[in-house]
Structure 1
Amino acid sequence: MTRLLIKETQILTMNEQMDIFSGDVLIEDDRITQVGQELDKVEEAGTKVIHAKGKTLLPGFVQTHVHLCQSIFRGQADDMELMDWLQQKIWPLEASHDETSLYDSAMLGLGELIQGGTTTVVDMETVNHTDAAFEALAQSGMRALSGKVMMDVGNELPPALLEDTQTSIAESTRLLEKWHGYDGGRLQYAYAPRFVVSCTEELLTEVRDLAKYYDVYIHTHASENLGEIQIVEEERGMRNVEYLDHLGLAHEKLILAHCIWLSDREKQIIRDRKVKMSHCPGSNLKLASGVADVCGMSHQGTHISLGADGAPCNNALNMFQEMKLAALLPKPTHGPAAMPAEEVLKMATIEGARAIGMEEEIGSIEEGKKADLALLDLNKLHTSPRAGVDPISSIVYSATAQDVETTIINGEIIMENRELKTMNETEVLANADRSMKRLLSTMASMTY
């Protein structure tokens, strides 16, 4: 048994009572076994002790929509709207990926996420080479729900991304059977049809049936852009969420990214079917897609969590940025009390856990739960003074990713004192740059 004791830290439990107190946390193997004060009696030979007086401990962040395959595309597709961004930049770049570049992209994104205190991601990969991304996830120590993107229709798709329907389904299921449940369930699989525009009805209905058979999640985009909705209405005869519900895909194991342009009927479907919505405010702003009605929807009972989306439509996989934007965006419309810091921090932790059905395992600091934690140093100029200030307010409105000192996933220290333990940061940076140069050369020679 491995034992880790975190001493004398400010603990933001994120439990039902939202308890905050100074104390200790004992971790044995992958679980939190004691949360309390003065746990000195458990300090014994073989116990690693982190003396964290003056620091702040909170559950690791759960990001419910990212694209690790796009991490090395950061800065390659700025100042564009969604469909142009996809067709002119992102799809050609994804089509140029090889196994090495995809692995390097995933490692770059994972390093950034870990350094920012994220301990779980819901990840959507590209069409090809998804084993390489899972290899990176396995090595990094990240907890993840991930899947190969599925695309079997589209006039503007590069040939390398346009799949045969049955080939797409077969490869997705092969990956599921290989990776789902890896490392005691640290890695899980989700079917990931990209969005209705790029998926035939045959593919979507088979995904529906297979996800039910294997009892896994479905992760897709919906209603991100008005142009996207127009295409779906013209081709399928109804709006995005209505169409997904018509096919029987709208249920509690469906995670929908964005959900900006929804009709009242679609909002009702999401609420009534217990569909999980991933809010990506940074991406939505940068692509000029719009502002999702998270304030109104959350008050009506919709389940909402947070994600950064991909690096080329956000430029940072930073939960602190997403929390601050999520808190600020509703205020001009709904008033200064809209979307308070506490509600936003819940979206980033326990509600993210609930989105993937793991609220009994992660998302709060409680005895018996998995040890997925982030230790912050808030003794900085930009987070001071601390006297009389709610630490939740400091985290949502003032803190940055650079304030994360230590990240623990599944009881393992993945980063300590800003040093990554499961990857060499210098090598990750060099490999990412090398792969991106190769992809740009490859893409320049491609014709469509």
Structure 2
Amino acid sequence: MSSLVLTGATVLTMNDALDVLEGPVVVRDGVIAQVGGRAPDGVPSIDLSGCVILPGFVQTHIHLCQTLFRGAADDLALLAWLRQRVWPMEAAHDEASLRVSTRLAVHELLRTGTTSVLTMETVHGTDVVLDTLASSGLRATVGKCLMDRDDAAPARLKQPVATAIDEALQLRAAYDGAGTGRIRVALAPRFAVSCTRELLEATAAVSTTHGMLVHTHASEQRDEIEVVRAIAGMGNLAYLADTGLATPRLCAAHCVWVDEAEQALLAERDVKVMHCPGSNLKLGSGLAPVTEMRARGITVSLGADGAACNNRLDMFDEMRLAATLQAVRLGPGALPARDVVWMATRAGATTLGLADAIGQVTPGFRADLVAVDVSGPLTAPSSDPYSTVVYASRGTDVRLTMVDGEVLVRDGVHQRVDAQALGHEARAEARRLMRRAGL
């Protein structure tokens, strides 16, 4: 078995007691074997003095396929953003552009401390994304996008219900458990605007039969809600419940505009909510009632969304925004830094159905870890590690990222990727994609 000792750091365990420990973290065969105490002799070690070690961040709403769209869909509201820019670009993807878009996203995510994601891809080519992820080191739950309606969507992005569901199940058969167990496949109906009731009900049935997570968008903007009301004659969350989707397996991104009755429904059905503050600000969507949802016992985790509507995939940005925006809504302290770190780790693990495997620095859990350098003057004096991580630290402060015990980023450098060459390749593929999209 391979072993490694991480020494010298303060450890935010994020266990149930929220213990903060000094001492080594011992990793053996991809699993955390020891936290604190005396380091074993004769085992290779990495000195992380001046760092805080915590569980790797879990981003629960990402679109890896949109990373090549960074900066190409700015300054638009949600429906115009989709119809005028994002859908044409997704329809123009080919194997080469999907592969480099995924690699570009993975590099940024690992470099800034994210070790697990829940991602919605586009309608075609999700096998390329899954292939790329399987060899990337990142832990990922992936769904091909399901769409069968919306006159403004390119024809290539719409599929008959049977075809869409069949392809999703083929991906599950081929890739679930790939990457030594890091890869899982989910169902991903885009949102009620672009899915018929038939597709939503079929998705609910497959989720029930196979126990698959369902990843969708819900109640992100008021215009979207009005479209759903015109289609279904009811509110967004009520409609999802009416189709059978509102179960503990439903992972609903955004939920910005949810009233008390809808929040009660989310809590009663144990629907998971993924909060994306950076995207919600950039698209002008609004400020989600995160504090109120958490008070009801709803699991609320964090995600950056895609690079097309955020431009960054850095969890440090999302943590800081999550805390400060609730302070604007309800006053300072409405969402304390420690709670935000919980959202970025434990709540994410719960959303993915992996609460017994990741999200804690605890013996027996997978060694998905991040070390954040807090020794510099920009984070001094670092008296409260939670505050330092949420309010003072940046993605560039990540010194080490580990998944399943493998060090993927060390001293701020991705160990598998030539970052400069990747940037050149991504720019060239983005130009070719934009020409295909006619943009």
Q: Same fold (TM over 0.5)?
A: yes
Q: Is the 8 A contact 1:33 1:367 kept in 2?
A: yes
Q: Is the 8 A contact 1:140 1:423 kept in 2?
A: no
2:278 to 273, 282, 295: 282
Tell me how far apart the structure 1 counterparts of residues 254 and 33 of structure 2 sit (CA, whole Å). Answer: 37
Cα-to-partner distance string for 1:324-367 (whole Å, 9 max, x where unaligned): 01000111231112100000110000111011111111101000
CA RMSD, Structure 1 to Structure 2 (Å): 1.1
1:32 equivalenced with 2:28 (yes/no): no
Tell me how far apart the structure 2 counterparts of residues 320 and 155 of structure 1 sit (CA, whole Å). Answer: 38
Q: Secondary structure at the match of 2:68?
A: helix
Tell me how far apart the structure 2 counterparts of residues 410 and 422 of structure 1 sit (CA, whole Å). Answer: 15
2:305 to 303, 306, 309: 309
What's the % identity of the aligned pairs? 42
Tell me how far apart the structure 1 counterparts of residues 41 and 197 of structure 2 sit (CA, whole Å). Answer: 59
Residue in 2 that maps onto 1:240 = 236
Kindly state the Cα deviation for residue 53 of structure 1 after the two structures are TM-superposed. Answer: 1.9
What is the number of residues matched between the two proteins? 439
Kindly state the Cα deviation for residue 86 of structure 1 after the two structures are TM-superposed. Answer: 0.4
Kindly state the Cα deviation for residue 184 of structure 1 after the two structures are TM-superposed. Answer: 3.7
| TM-score normalised by L of structure 2 | 0.98
Q: Secondary structure at the match of 2:23?
A: strand
Tell me how far apart the structure 2 counterparts of residues 192 and 289 of structure 1 sit (CA, whole Å). Answer: 21
Cα-to-partner distance string for 1:152-176 (whole Å, 9 max, x where unaligned): 1110001211212211111111111
Q: Return 197-206 or 218-227, whichever deviates more.
A: 197-206
Q: Is the 8 A contact 1:141 1:422 kept in 2?
A: no
1:157 equivalenced with 2:163 (yes/no): no
User: What letter corresponds to residue 9 of structure 1 in structure 2?
Assistant: A
Kindly state the Cα deviation for residue 381 of structure 1 after the two structures are TM-superposed. Answer: 2.2
| TM-score normalised by L of structure 1 | 0.96
Q: Secondary structure at the match of 1:177?
A: helix
Tell me how far apart the structure 2 counterparts of residues 342 and 8 of structure 1 sit (CA, whole Å). Answer: 22
1:215 equivalenced with 2:221 (yes/no): no
2:405 to 399, 411, 415: 411
Q: Secondary structure at the match of 2:245?
A: coil
User: What letter corresponds to residue 379 of structure 2 in structure 1?
Assistant: T
Tell me how far apart the structure 2 counterparts of residues 165 and 212 of structure 1 sit (CA, whole Å). Answer: 17
Tell me how far apart the structure 2 counterparts of residues 405 and 212 of structure 1 sit (CA, whole Å). Answer: 41
Cα-to-partner distance string for 1:358-393 (whole Å, 9 max, x where unaligned): 11111010000000000111112220123xx10110
Unaligned stretches of 5+ residues in structure 1: none
Tell me how far apart the structure 2 counterparts of residues 211 and 297 of structure 1 sit (CA, whole Å). Answer: 24
1:391 to 385, 388, 391: 385
Q: Is the 8 A contact 1:57 1:376 kept in 2?
A: yes
Kindly state the Cα deviation for residue 183 of structure 1 after the two structures are TM-superposed. Answer: 3.1
1:295 equivalenced with 2:299 (yes/no): no
Kindly state the Cα deviation for residue 426 of structure 1 after the two structures are TM-superposed. Answer: 2.5
Q: Is the 8 A contact 1:5 1:43 kept in 2?
A: no
Kindly state the Cα deviation for residue 38 of structure 1 after the two structures are TM-superposed. Answer: 2.3
Cα-to-partner distance string for 1:205-237 (whole Å, 9 max, x where unaligned): 111111111111000000001111111111111
Tell me how far apart the structure 2 counterparts of residues 109 and 183 of structure 1 sit (CA, whole Å). Answer: 17
1:147 equivalenced with 2:136 (yes/no): no
Residue in 1 that maps onto 2:8 = 8
Q: Is the 8 A contact 1:141 1:409 kept in 2?
A: yes
Tell me how far apart the structure 2 counterparts of residues 236 and 278 of structure 1 sit (CA, whole Å). Answer: 24
Tell me how far apart the structure 2 counterparts of residues 329 and 316 of structure 1 sit (CA, whole Å). Answer: 18
Structure-to-structure mapping, 1:56-75, within 5 angstroms:
56-75=52-71
Cα-to-partner distance string for 1:68-103 (whole Å, 9 max, x where unaligned): 000010000111100000000000010100011011
Structure-to-structure mapping, 1:155-234, within 5 angstroms:
155-234=151-230
Residue in 2 that maps onto 1:365 = 361
User: What letter corresponds to residue 326 of structure 2 in structure 1?
Assistant: P
Kindly state the Cα deviation for residue 444 of structure 1 after the two structures are TM-superposed. Answer: 1.5
Residue in 1 that maps onto 2:329 = 333
Tell me how far apart the structure 2 counterparts of residues 59 and 335 of structure 1 sit (CA, whole Å). Answer: 28
1:444 equivalenced with 2:435 (yes/no): no
Tell me how far apart the structure 2 counterparts of residues 211 and 236 of structure 1 sit (CA, whole Å). Answer: 22
Cα-to-partner distance string for 1:265-298 (whole Å, 9 max, x where unaligned): 2111101000000000000000001110001111
